[in-house]
Amino acid sequence: MKKAFYFMPDISGFSEFVNTTEIEHSIHIISELLEILIDTNPINFKLIEVEGDALFMYTTQHVLFDDIVNQTQKMIQAFHAHTKMYERKRICNCGACRTTNNLELKFVVHHGDLNFIKVKDIVKPYGKDVIKAHRLLKNNVLLNEYLLISSAVYNLYKNKIGTEWKSLTEIYDKEEITYFYTNLNHIKNELAFKEKEIQEEKSVIPIQSIQKTMGTDIDTLYLLISDLKYRHLWDDSVKRIEFDENKINRIGTQHHCVLQFGKLNFETISEKSKDSLIYGEKTKDMMFVRDFHYVIRLDKINDSNTNLSLDLFLEFNFIGNIMKHSILIMIEKMWNKKLEKLNQIAINRVFENQFF
């Protein structure tokens, strides 16, 4: 009978994350993190199934113990590099986006028999060792990040196991099961990031500004402005918005505004603020303009009213400077129309229960 190594990375804190935060954004975040784990796979484990917050993987190849340890370290590094990046680039202030950096990662490795079950066209590993690997996820280890190996794996590599490893014995279905584990919390703490600091859009003085009092709460307004799936409801200046619906909008996210002729590519930008919610976009594709970006700042007046400040920054080319006056009149008219419709959409809450 064939033998296999069963490998299961599992995200700690997932249940609390989805139970106490916005479900749509949490799904996107967990999906991104699981994709990163699948791509960080030097041993080339085969993916059997995505099980909510965990990956179930296996290989029939012999695996060196150092390779197992190396893979878990690389996965944790990639995992936390993403959560740190997400914290720096996020524009959303919902519970899911705010708490992504609190998620942790643990691993279970087991070695045992490999049997398969076929149901219709679906073929999966099956049997007592598959069950044992899953049961080891429910353990009494009081750590958020760790590597846990079954006694079967320990027996293969006992000469490689250092004194930092601890053992526990528990009862599963009236059977004693011993496992060994080591703390991986230090990897997150030691991880060094050398990414470039996010560049905030800074411009001397806006070439044009618009101030409006909006008759809705600040969170609803920011949701409509920053979530690209709602853009078509209040922006009639484009035929449609093209964007990746499986990703959360954040600094650096790109989308296309499809016009009657051609399209404009926009990139999400933002600024840091303790008191305001800020959202902006930039493009170099606008006709007669070398560079364009806008920044919307929202400030709470009360639970039903929000002050909106729109700053427009344009760097005209030669022809644009000749037509500058008429271009600015057109842009101001266009944005006033957008903001008026945005206000009505928010007040009447017609965006709720929308299907896309």
Q: Tell whether domain 208-348 is in CATH 3.30.750.24.
A: no
pLDDT of residue 194: 46
pLDDT of residue 72: 97
Whether the CB-CB separation of 17 and 105 falls below 8 Å is answered with no
pLDDT of residue 352: 67
Domain boundaries, the chain: 3-190, 208-348
pLDDT of residue 173: 81
pLDDT of residue 354: 54
pLDDT of residue 94: 86
Contacts with 186 (C-beta within 8 Å, 6 or more apart), sequence order = none
pLDDT of residue 299: 97
The CATH number of the structural domain formed by 3-190 is: 3.30.70.1230
Positions in the chain short of pLDDT 70? 192-204, 350, 352-356
Same fold, 3-190 and 208-348: no
pLDDT of residue 197: 45
Rounded mean pLDDT of the chain? 91
Nearest alpha carbon to residue 284 among 241, 329, 235, 317: 317
Query: Which two tokens mark 220?
Result: 């609803």
pLDDT of residue 201: 47
Percent share of the chain, pLDDT over 70: 94
For 230-248, the DSSP string reads: GHHHH-TTSSEEE--TTS-
pLDDT of residue 143: 92
